[in-house]
Amino acid sequence: MRTDSTRLLRILHLASPALPIGAFHFSQGLEYAVEAGWVQDEHGALSWISGVARNAIGTLDLPVLLRLYRAATAGDDDGLQRWDQFLLAARETEELRAEDRHMGSALARILKELGALSSSPNAPPGYARMFAVACAHWQIAESETLQAYAWTWTENQVLAAVKLVPLGQNAGQRLLHALVPLLEQIAIQALAIDDEDIGACALLQGLASARHEHQYTRLFKS
């Protein structure tokens, strides 16, 4: 029997930075943005993270996650595969695609160990697909699924900024606090985005990720 408190604990587990999926390896272009001087301080980090959240996570990842969640809930394997491939194709660089597959495969192994996944997908799955499968299995509500995914992405970006800019730990907490209203907003908006309107417009992030692939010294894989 799953109670509300059980579902809360499950989503906290799934969103925890302690989950061994390797998220801390990736900056999604932020490392190059710091190297290039595009992000130099706390204000710049807030502007960068909120911009990507508003123009990519909220308009691409979250609407696709919603469709993956509904497909997983309905047992629609074709839908899972289709939207998983759609999201992977929308990643602008090889680094971002590799990150998606790496984290998705790692999460699939964990979910199988926990009994939340009966069998591994034939091809390396994307992270959003496995996140959706887990939330559907544990009967997490749609809105909470979207918010938790947005929070996990944001927390990883803030932790990367703390290391790279660098920022102090208090600055990192101020960033997270400031970003919460935006995360709630993009999660709500994602519920109303039609299929034909799904997409991202975060040009600097794509450019930063592409240039990061050839950056001479770096802490992160992407």
- Dihedral sign (CA 24, 99, 12, 50): positive
**pLDDT value at position 212?**
92
**pLDDT value at position 57?**
98
**pLDDT value at position 2?**
66
pLDDT digits (tens, 9 = 90+) for 159-200: 999 999 999 999 999 999 999 999 999 999 999 999 999 999
159 in Cβ contact with 17 (< 8 Å): yes
- Among the residues of the chain, which ranges form H helices? 4-15, 30-35, 42-52, 62-74, 77-90, 94-114, 127-137, 142-164, 169-190, 203-212
Tell me the residue range of the domain where 73 lies. 29-212
Residue 181 within a domain: yes
**pLDDT value at position 156?**
96
Enumerate residue ranges in the chain where pLDDT < 50. Answer: none
Residue 121 within a domain: yes
Residue 163 within a domain: yes
Whether the full predicted model's pTM is greater than 0.75, yes or no, is yes
Residue 17 within a domain: no
Residue 170 within a domain: yes
Question: Strand, coil or helix: what is 112?
Answer: helix
- Dihedral sign (CA 39, 41, 46, 47): negative
Provide the domain count of the chain: 1
CATH code of residue 41: 1.10.4190.10
**pLDDT value at position 5?**
85
